[in-house]
A and B are shown apart, each in its own frame.
Chain A
Amino acid sequence: MINTTILSWVTFIYFAAFVFYLFRMVLGHEFWSKLATWTTLIGIVAQSVALIIRWKTSYNMGIGHAPLSNFYESLIFFAWTIVLLYLLMQWRLKNSSIGVFVLPVAFLIMAYASIAPGINNRIEPLIPALQSNWLTSHVLTCFLGYAAFTVAFALGLMYFVKKASGADVSQSSIFIRLLPTEYQMDELMYSCAALGFIFLTLGIVTGSVWAHYAWGSYWSWDPKETWSLITWLIYAVMLHVRLVRGWRGQRMAIMAIVGFACVLFTYLGVNLLPSLHSYMT
């Protein structure tokens, strides 16, 4: 199908963008930054087109639904939101050094979606439980949240890279010098975590409303629900220790990384547990 062909090309485009961002960080030329940004833009436009085609195709097949209904589609959408969020951030901050940490994540997710065994990339009709208007809003808000947490995680990694290079900026490589200041990274990490927290809250609330209509209970301690609560609590702690206790920098970076581990478990790990949310059934 044409949409999956485009999507496998997007995987390589994101990889190329990552390489260009890396060249920029190592060589320091502004040219590479521009090339990387344009490559990323081409990637996300192509990916959006593929998603729209996939959406349209499902209607032509008579089983119309937003492309958010199975594991493959969720991975693709996850990568899309991450890149979108990153581009918005680069545009706002006029700093492209974060790309070298974010783009590989998007690339890996896309590659996993195309290569990993057992991932079905066909457009399939919705089973009765998924035939709901809440599907789109629930998946959309959850993945926007996941994407924000992913960027916060990338910033956490960057923070440690910067920290490891020592305090004396003039002595360090171009790579380190191009990274935002520790203060900036800390602020960004907080903004991303806060944004993710809002979207995760919306995701949990829309999920509860949906569950209320589908299963008869707004909360049933399904492993996915429970893990989303655990993730929510971790980020709630992260926001509190910053706002009330004044935690900054390294401690926040650790929280961002721990939080992301929870996000990953909520998204993927739960498939190993018996759950109504499992993508594997």
Chain B
Amino acid sequence: MSKKKSTIWSFFSSIQLAIVLISLIAFFALIGTLVPQREASVKLAESISPSLFSFLLKMQFFDLYHSVWFIILSGLLAVNLIICSLDRLPLTWRRFRMQSLPFNEEAFKDLPATNTFQAGSDVQRAAEAATRLLKKKYGKFARTDGPGNTYFCAQKGSFSLFGVYLVHLSLLVLIVGAIIGSIFGIEAYVNITEGETVTAITLRNGNQSIPLPFSVRCDKFTMELYESGMPKTFQSDLTFLKDNQVAHVGKLLVNHPIEFDGFRFYQASYGNAPGGKATLALVRDGGHRDVINVEQGYTFNLPGKEGTFQVLRVEENMMKMGPAVKVAVRSNKNEEAVFWVFQQIDQIKKISPDIFEQVPVFNPGLFQPYTFSLLGLEEKYYTGLQVNRDPGTPVVTAAAILLIGGLMLILFSYARSIWIRIGQKGDMVVIAVAGRSYKNQPSLQKEIQYLLSELKNSLEKSQ
């Protein structure tokens, strides 16, 4: 190109710039793995001076991967990629055209003597041999019958010349996908206690709550362990409701997200939730025994219809005396008794026999003629869900496919052209084979020698 390029153009089209930018990005990435980022940086604040910390904070040192610095570097690299590719594309295009020139006398200039041989045959027969060989080896080829000489041309892998542009394009597409994700994407979480329904999620960045266009209920959370105590499965049974209608029911497992209405739900964590279920036994006059499953906040009828009782609290460990349930019993005559029912009441009584006199509300027989006993608590869990929406994902996927395809083209295939020239010299035919490849010269030379020996063989046979 004889046109004088502007300084800016040549600055951005230089490979040096690319190398500097790539090195800087690598360096920043490295710093980011050593300096605690985001939430983790709080710890660092305690060990360095507050003014230094606030300076580093202002410089976005604790969120490097989302900092202005990183965005500027990535932007410059994107511009560099575009300009570099545009700058080199015409040259590649010329090479690509050159690859498929049917008649290229230049390729035969300064050809070593080993690439030429003579045989007692004629052009007609040599051309037939060349046709057979090229058809077998390359499939497609071009023939030109010039004045004096006949030319054949065949090529392989010309498209690999464009592999590098595919790779560069893929990186640009990747950047676009990441930008789409960061602008329109949502990264949030929500904890749902078993049996409860949520209609909003909390953003990871900034803790802001945003409403969902539907509601999600966690019906059950299950955790299975291996014998060794290592976790085996975490599973949440979820129900998705739209306008109070069940729209989808699914089991959410780690590695198996559920997508609903554009949001993806991931099993991320779990924990114990307050207020689980309890199993109570009610003994009437020391005789008839009823077992009832209860839950905090609900009101139940007494088995003999004398009144109702309500579960006020379910405690896993009440005053370090084990599981307990607080109940309020109300008779039909509006008499009320409130007391605690301990699961380990027998042990407690053994340790302090006069406990009921000291603390009457610990007496499970406070409402006659019933005696309550707590058979067991069923632990209640909450499930921690990661909720994401990233419209950039398909773009990033496309980028990944382009990237791998481009790399394969560059590294596993290479452009190669072969020209065969056949001419008559007296009663001998002169055959020359030339080639051009931008990579892997030794393999090209091998291929040329192979073609020469094949041609020689077939001409000798036909004599």
Contacts and interface: CB of A to CB of B under 8 A. Distances in A.
A127 B403 contact: no
A19 interface: no
B330 interface: no
Nearest to A270: B33
Given A125-B230, A205-B400, A273 B15 contact: no
A197 B408 CA distance: 11
B147 interface: no
Interface in A211-227: 212-219, 221, 223, 226-227
Nearest to B226: A125
A129 B254 contact: yes
Interface in B406-447: 407-408, 411
Contacts of B234: 128
Given A213-B256, A230-B30, A201 B230 contact: no
Given A215-B266, A226-B32, 16 more contacts: A125-B230, A127-B232, A128-B233, A195-B411, A198-B407, A208-B400, A209-B400, A212-B393, A216-B187, A218-B396, A223-B33, A226-B30, A226-B33, A233-B29, A237-B23, A245-B15
B42 interface: no
A245 to B, nearest CB: 6
B254 A131 contact: yes
20 contacts: A124-B228, A125-B228, A125-B230, A125-B232, A128-B254, A198-B411, A201-B403, A201-B404, A202-B404, A205-B400, A205-B404, A213-B255, A216-B266, A233-B23, A236-B22, A237-B22, A240-B18, A241-B19, A244-B15, A274-B40
A213 to B, nearest CB: 6
A229 interface: yes
A236 B268 CA distance: 35
Interface in B245-270: 253-257, 264, 266-268
B325 to A, nearest CB: 33
A121 interface: no
B53 interface: no
Contacts of B267: 128
Contacts of A218: 390, 393, 396
B388 interface: yes
Nearest to A212: B393
B255 A198 contact: no
A214 B235 CA distance: 13
Contacts of A127: 230-232
Interface in A69-95: none
Interface string B25-51: 110011011100100100000000000
A240 B23 CA distance: 13
Contacts of B230: 124-125, 127
A229 B70 CA distance: 14
Contacts of A201: 403-404, 407
B65 interface: yes
Interface residues of A, number: 42
Contacts of A274: 40
A233 B15 CA distance: 14
B386 interface: yes
A233 B74 CA distance: 13
Contacts of B403: 201, 205
A28 B463 CA distance: 49
A132 B254 CA distance: 9
A227 B30 CA distance: 7
A79 B393 CA distance: 35
A212 B266 CA distance: 10
A63 B224 CA distance: 14
Given A124-B230, A128-B232, A216 B257 contact: yes
A152 interface: no
A120 B161 CA distance: 48
A214 B254 CA distance: 6
Interface in B381-397: 386-388, 390, 393, 396
A64 to B, nearest CB: 14
B26 A217 contact: no
B231 A240 contact: no
B26 A233 contact: yes
A44 interface: no
